[in-house]
Amino acid sequence: MIFSTMFFMKISSVSAGWLQAHATFYGGSDASGTMGGACGYGNLYTDGYKTNTAALSTALFTMNGRNYFELVLISNVAGAGDISKVWIKGSKSNKWETMSRNWGANYQSNTFLNGQSLSFKVQLSDGSIKAALNVVPSNWQFGQSFKSNINF
């Protein structure tokens, strides 16, 4: 009886440190199977992450889409882990524009931002907001990824 009470107390104190999180994976434990998933990250196995790698890095912003349709994939989001809101600002504007979630970790803007350096603000589900100022240079091209100066 004493052992079970002590065991329960130990489990209770350990579980108090857990935070709620979300994850989606549609493949095998060896990284086989469908690698697209609902997050929008694509095939992490061929990108070098595989199954035995801890991805510790600053946030990455990958520019996809076309003129008047910037589709930005935000990677390496730690902290709370869930993005709740994203804003974008071109260097020719003083106004932050709210981006809409397209799917997974892809957020879109329907503004012509070509030829401008870009800044992002990212709000996580815990309410914290981080700003990556001028993280994308003015000569950016669709398909490029840019390392930011922020870490969640």
The pTM of the full predicted model, rounded to 2 decimals, is 0.66
Cβ count within 10 A of residue 89: 22
Tens digit of each residue's pLDDT (9 = 90 or more) over 40-58: 555 655 655 555 544 455 6
Average pLDDT (8-35) is 57
**pLDDT tens-place string over residues 103-141:** 888 999 999 999 999 999 999 888 989 899 999 999 999
Whole-angstrom CA distances from 150 to 13, 20, 59, 123, 132 are 32, 23, 6, 12, 6
Q: Given a cut of 60, is residue 67 above it in pLDDT?
A: yes
Domains and CATH numbers, the chain: 24-55 (no CATH), 60-147 (2.60.40.760)
